[in-house]
Amino acid sequence: MMDQEVLSVFAKRLFDGEQWLTNQQVIWKGQMIESVKSAAMPLNGEMEIFDVLAPGFIDVHVNGGGGALFNHTPTIETLARMVAVHAQFGTVAMMPTLISDDYEIMSQAHHAVCQALEQTMAGILGMHYEGPYLNPIRKGVHNESKLRKPTEGKLATLLEVSRSGKLMVTLAPEQVPEGFIEWLVSQGVIVCIGHSAASYDQARRAVESGARGFTHLFNAMTPLVSREPGVVGAALQTDKPTWCGLIADGHHVHPASMRVAVAAKGCEHMLLVTDAIQSVGSEAKEMPFLGKKVLRSEGKVTTEDGTLAGSDLDMATAVRNTINLIGRTSTEALQMASLRPAEFLGIDQEFGRIKAGYRASIVALNTDFFVTATWIDGQKVWG
């Protein structure tokens, strides 16, 4: 076996996942970081020098990129395309997301992800089924004809991803039978509540049954109002460890609502997600989307009737928006993009920090938090 190459880079400022350090040299061998240490500014040509290094971003909700939508072409080639495109924006690991679809498409997507995991494709952690067990009342852009209740015996075969990777399922708790959430959790599934018309009590029971995520907080769920806290009210509770996905694009959620939610829940249980479709990394202004036409304009993507159809957001922009729109610190924003998703997925012993023994999955940024380079498992894939 060939010796693995030892690589090193220098950061004027380094965020290690917990604290900021200055003038740091990061050394890795193969996929893993060997050391992080203080060092003098290197001479020109000795090693690459970056303004900022931070743990690479983890996106648990991403539907496509670079002109490819996972639902349209649920193949390993699409997964590779998504990883390559989103690496430009600092994403080092993702949960490719399949929007509610027919069993045949779900099966093809499942096969593609299992194939990627078997090949240990860098950047693919598992998959996220967003549906089809959703409430038509809160369907959003999902095709109502694809929504259904979990009565089919075929479901178990789609859960094999959880044997070798991470598996998320977004569902409406009021649409599934009693005991279903507990069963999914027993199969290694991370259950998230979304596209739901559940009451506060129904959502709380789902959490007590093992659900621990809320998909795109505020969107496609019952709101928090005076006498019925709804799904949003359940999401913002802090007595049980749950996490909320936040699409910080300024279109899905008003900045004031985001500020209130983060203040209530705490940054440590907020995840920045993109919900990106194929527009990210593409120049197209119009594109097909699940049998409809989607229009891209001013940072958002909508159907012709104005319904939001996923997003045109990338993770680096989400980080900048968290700082500039929500008023959180760079520490909090970077953690919401890396360490918090890693904790949510249970992979924070590998991802979310730049420390010895962690994966060399790192993003380099300029002082305005635009991406200048990305490494996934020690390999430079952008910049």
Residue 2 banded pLDDT, cuts 50, 70, 90: low
pLDDT at 153 > cutoff 80:
no
Question: pTM of the prediction?
Answer: 0.98
Q: In the predicted model, what is the mean pLDDT of residues 150-171? A: 89
pLDDT of the residue at 152:
67
Residue 304 C-alpha from the chain's centroid: 26
Query: Residues 11-54: pLDDT tens digits?
Result: 999 999 999 999 999 999 999 999 999 999 998 788 999 999 99
Angle, helices 76-87/103-118, rounded to nearest 10 degrees: 70
The percent of residues in the chain predicted with pLDDT above 70, rounded, is 99
pLDDT above 80: residue 218: yes
Residues 25, 40: Cα–Cα separation, whole Å: 9
φ, ψ (nearest 5 deg) of residue 214: -125, 120
Q: Which of 59, 101, 249, 275 is catalytic?
A: 275
Task: Write the CB contacts of 76 (distance below 8 Å, at least 6 apart in sequence).
Answer: 112, 115, 116, 119, 121
Q: What is the pLDDT of residues 329-349, one digit of tens each?
A: 999 999 999 999 999 999 999
User: E strands along the chain, which residues?
Assistant: 6-15, 20-29, 32-38, 48-55, 57-62, 64-65, 68-69, 91-99, 126-130, 166-171, 190-193, 213-214, 243-246, 270-272, 286-289, 292-297, 300-303, 362-365, 371-376, 379-382
Angle subtended at Cα 159 by Cα 154 and Cα 163, rounded to the nearest 5 degrees: 145
Q: Residues with Cβ < 8 Å from 262, sequence gap 6 or more?
A: 246, 270, 326, 328
Which domains are seen in the chain, by residue range?
6-54+357-382 (2.30.40.10), 57-345 (3.20.20.140)
Position 306 scores a pLDDT of 93
Alpha-carbon distances of 242 from 188, 191, 234, 254, 322, rounded to whole Å: 16, 10, 10, 22, 20
pLDDT over threshold 60, residue 201: yes
The answer to whether residue 201 is catalytic is no
- Residue 156: pLDDT over 90: no
- The number of beta carbons lying within 10 Å of the beta carbon of residue 341 is 30
Quick: pLDDT tens for 252-294.
Answer: 999 999 999 999 999 999 999 999 999 999 999 999 999 999 9
Question: Residue 241 pLDDT more than 50?
Answer: yes
pLDDT tens digits, residue range 134-150? 999 999 999 999 999 99
Reply yes or no on whether the pLDDT at 324 is more than 80: yes
pLDDT computed for residue 151 by the predictor: 77
> What's the pLDDT at 1?
43
Mean pLDDT on 160-183 = 96
pLDDT tens per residue across span 45-96 = 889 999 999 999 999 999 999 999 999 999 999 999 999 999 999 999 999 9
Q: Average per-residue pLDDT in the chain?
A: 96
Confidence (pLDDT) at 3: 66
The 10s digit of each residue's pLDDT in 219-238 is: 999 999 999 999 999 999 99
